[in-house]
A and B are shown apart, each in its own frame.
Chain A
Amino acid sequence: MIQQEKMKVVRQKQIADGIFELTLIGQLTLQMKQPGQFVHIRVSDSLEPLLRRPISICSIDSEHMEFKMLYRAGGRGTKILSQKQPGDEVDILGPLGNGFPVEETESGETALLVGGGIGVPPLYELSKQLNAKGVHTIHVLGFQSIHNVFYEKQFSELGETYIVTADGSYGSKGFVTDLLAQLNPTFDVFYSCGPLPMLKALEQTYPDKKGFLSFEERMGCGIGACYACVCQTTDIVAQDYLKICSDGPVFPRGVVAL
Chain B
Amino acid sequence: MNRLQVELPGLTLKNPIIPASGCFGFGQEFAKLYDLSKLGAIMIKATTLETRRGNPTPRVAETAAGMLNAIGLQNPGLAHVMEYELPWLEQYDVPIIANVAGTETADYVAVAEKISTAPNVKALELNISCPNVKSGGIQFGTDANTASGLTAAVKEVSKVPVYVKLSPNVTNIVEIAKAVEAGGADGITMINTLIGMRLHPKTGKPIIANGTGGLSGPAVKPIAIRMIYDVRQQVKIPIIGMGGITNAEDVIDFLSVGASAVAVGTANFVDPFVCPNIIDELPQKLDELACEKITDLIGRSHR
Contact = CB atoms under 8 A, between A and B. Distances in A.
Interface of A: 1-2, 4, 42, 47-52, 93, 217-231, 239, 241, 246
B129 interface: no
B278 interface: no
A186 to B, nearest CB: 37
Interface stretch (B28-36, B142-150, B226-234): B28-36
A50 B53 contact: no
Contacts of A223: 29-30, 32-33, 272
Interface of B: 22-25, 28-30, 32-33, 45, 53-54, 57-62, 64-67, 69, 71, 74, 217-218, 246, 266, 268-273
B71 A228 contact: yes
Contacts of B54: 227, 230, 241
B69 A226 contact: yes
A230 B25 CA distance: 14
B218 A225 contact: no
A229 B54 CA distance: 12
Contacts of B28: 224
Contact of B58 (A48, A50, A218): A218
A226 B57 contact: no
B269 A226 contact: yes
A222 B29 CA distance: 10
B33 A226 contact: no
A239 B52 CA distance: 10
B67 A50 contact: yes
Nearest to B22: A226
A228 B68 CA distance: 11
Given A218-B57, A225-B268, A230-B54, A47 B67 contact: no
6 contacts: A50-B65, A51-B67, A218-B58, A221-B29, A226-B71, A241-B53
A51 B270 contact: yes
Contacts of A241: 53-54, 74
Contact of A220 (B33, B69, B246): B69
The 10 closest A-B pairs by CB, nearest first: A225-B25, A228-B60, A221-B269, A225-B29, A47-B65, A223-B29, A218-B58, A47-B218, A224-B29, A227-B74
Contact of B269 (A47, A49, A51): A51
Contacts of A225: 23-25, 29-30, 268
Contacts of A246: 29
A120 to B, nearest CB: 23
Main secondary structure of the interface of B (DSSP, over half): loop
A97 B62 CA distance: 21
B69 A218 contact: no
A227 B132 CA distance: 14
Contacts, number: 93
Main secondary structure of the interface of A (DSSP, over half): loop
Contacts of A217: 57-58
Contact of A4 (B58, B60, B65, B273): B273
B32 A2 contact: yes
Contacts of A52: 269-270
B33 A2 contact: yes
Contacts of B59: 218, 227-230
A246 B268 CA distance: 16
A183 B61 CA distance: 40
Contacts of A49: 62
A49 B30 CA distance: 23
Contacts of B62: 49-51
Nearest to B76: A240
Nearest to A3: B33
Nearest to A77: B62
A241 B270 CA distance: 24
Nearest to A218: B58
A230 B56 CA distance: 8
Contact of A219 (B60, B71, B74): B60
Nearest to A93: B272
Contacts of A48: 64-65
A226 B33 CA distance: 16
A80 to B, nearest CB: 13
Nearest to B62: A51
Contacts of A1: 32
Contacts of A230: 54, 57, 59, 74
A38 B61 CA distance: 20
A226 B70 CA distance: 11
Nearest to A231: B57
Given A52-B269, A225-B268, A226-B60, 15 more contacts: A2-B32, A48-B64, A50-B217, A220-B69, A221-B29, A224-B25, A224-B28, A224-B29, A225-B24, A225-B29, A226-B22, A227-B74, A230-B54, A230-B57, A246-B29
A48 B219 CA distance: 10
A51 B265 CA distance: 13
Contacts of A229: 57, 59
A221 B67 contact: no
A225 to B, nearest CB: 4
A198 to B, nearest CB: 18
